[in-house]
Amino acid sequence: MIKLDPDRALSARALELVLATGADALLVGGTQGITAEKVLGLLGRLEAALRRPPVWLEVSSPAAAVPGAPGYLVPFVLNAGDPTWTGRAQAEALGAMLPRLGAILPWERLWPAAYLILNPDSAAARLTAAEAPPPETAVGYAALAGRLLRLPLLYVEYSGRFGDTQLLDRLRRAAGPSCRVWYGGGVDSGARAAAAARAAHAVVVGNAAHEVPDRLSEIAAAVRATPPPP
């Protein structure tokens, strides 16, 4: 999967390289500078592209809650220090929307996503006041998301640096067979992509799409050549 940030520049050439990878899906989302105008602008560019893959819109702020996306991810940050991100903001938004839009909300296209932020220096960690837990607690969070809360998705987010793939493997096992584990962070080469693909169900490439798009084909090939985890 390739994650595109509405607040970052994406040249026409970079977009061509993104689409040329044949990525299984695109994820539109970011942490800083998100506005409805920017989100709609990027969605419009993707809509205009022929043979584009499915698009998931990460609703990380009210400004990102725009109509028209094929699918929506609603983040719940498991290790957030700010309770806004563990359910309060989502509850307040739904409480305001249900009286007006409850009958037409596309529930089947809204996916709750448990995020586990493991890079304390990332923008996402600063925004949510998340601290990286010790490994055993991280494994506990994964089991909480997948086995106890039965959430369909656990997003392991290192955001800006490459993470611990041995821990990632433990997190996937702890989350259980019904929870898909996505990995994001520091995937800027084929070797790193393959290492992440051995441990996670999906590899999310973010910064590389904006900074080194010429490497995307190498990254995509490495993921496809790697046998999926059990």
- The arrangement of secondary structure in 2-225, i.e. its CATH architecture, is Alpha-Beta Barrel (3.20)
Which region among 30-39, 76-85, 170-179 has the lowest average model confidence (pLDDT)?
30-39
φ, ψ (nearest 5 deg) of residue 181: -110, 120
Q: Let me know: does 170 contact 139? Beta carbons within 8 Å.
A: yes
Phi-psi region of 185 (alpha: psi -120 to 50; beta: other; left: phi over 0): left
- Domain locations along the chain: 2-225
> pTM value?
0.92
Question: In the predicted model, what is the mean pLDDT of residues 92-99?
Answer: 84
pLDDT surpasses 90 at 185 = yes
What pLDDT digit, counting tens, does each position of 193-225 carry?
Answer: 999 999 999 999 999 999 999 999 999 999 999
Rounded (10°) CA dihedral 85, 87, 93, 94: 160
Residue 184 has pLDDT above 70, yes or no: yes
Residue 31 is predicted with a pLDDT of 85
Q: 105 or 77: which carries more pLDDT confidence?
A: 77
Q: Is the pLDDT of residue 51 over 70?
A: no
User: Is residue 81 a contact partner of residue 117, using CB atoms and an 8 Å limit?
Assistant: no
Name the band, by pLDDT with cuts 50, 70 and 90, for residue 27: very high
pLDDT score for 78: 96
Per-residue model confidence (pLDDT) at position 50? 60
User: Radius of gyration of the chain from Cα atoms?
Assistant: 17
Q: Are 94 and 134 in contact (CB under 8 A)?
A: no
CA distances from 20 to 16, 37, 47, 71, 201 (A): 6, 26, 15, 21, 21
Contact 56, 23 (CB under 8 A): no
Mean pLDDT score, 169-191: 97
Size of the chain in residues? 230
Please report which confidence band the pLDDT of residue 95 belongs to, taking 50, 70 and 90 as the band edges.
confident
Whether the CB-CB separation of 201 and 187 falls below 8 Å is answered with no
